[in-house]
Amino acid sequence: MNWLAHVFLSEQKIDFQIGNFLADPLKGRLWEDATIDMKKGMFTHKIIDSYTDSHEIVSCSKRRLREKGLLKPVIIDLTYDYFLTKNWDDFCHMPIKEFSKVFYHEANQRTQVLPNHANIPIYNMIERDLLNKYHNLEQLKTSFERMDRRLSPRLKQRETALSYFDSVVKNIDELEKDFLEFFPQLTTKIKSDLDENKIKHWKL
């Protein structure tokens, strides 16, 4: 799952959401005096990733794209965020624009007391509005192109994210069915570790 899913699949407390979001850019390491909620958010991120990476439905989605490929997991992460955006109103009580606006505002306020290395990805997310980059297939394609700009020359010689786009479009209906079956199972998996009073934005 990508940025949008991780922020959504959090208790609605800003430190929890920030911890869940920062797990990838900070490679799973928080600073010494990070809050308990940030640590819990990062722990939830790891549960989400572990469950997703080992789930048969997600594996099926990967196989729909091609038999082999190093970038398949990331392509599915991005594509699943597209499906989350598309079906947002089925999962969340808050409109996506409102949800992201509240998160950006509260995260920006927290940057006043966070270390600089944590603020950089937060500022980048807010400035580029990364939670609203999956509203249509053209935006999804653009996210593949952005990813390619970060790939090493060596990996680009083997494959690119953009090379998956036609396969995603060709299998879009089956991939969406996969997501709609998988995502409720994912929420059930992590719900037991969360405070139900803090996930009232969920419809699930």
| pLDDT of res. 204 | 80
The list of the chain residues with pLDDT below 70 reads none
pLDDT number for residue 187:
97
pLDDT (0 to 100) of residue 1: 87
Check if the beta carbon of residue 7 is closer than 8 Å to that of residue 21: yes
Query: How many Å apart are CA 126 and CA 122, to the nearest integer?
Result: 6
> What pLDDT, in 10s, does the model give residues 103-155?
999 999 999 999 999 999 999 999 999 999 999 999 999 999 999 999 999 98
pLDDT, position 128: 94
Residue 88 has a pLDDT of 98
| Cβ–Cβ < 8 Å for 170, 202 | no
Please compute, for residue 60, the number of CA atoms within 13 A of its CA located in the half-sphere on the CB side: 11
- φ/ψ (deg, to 5) at 117: -65, -20
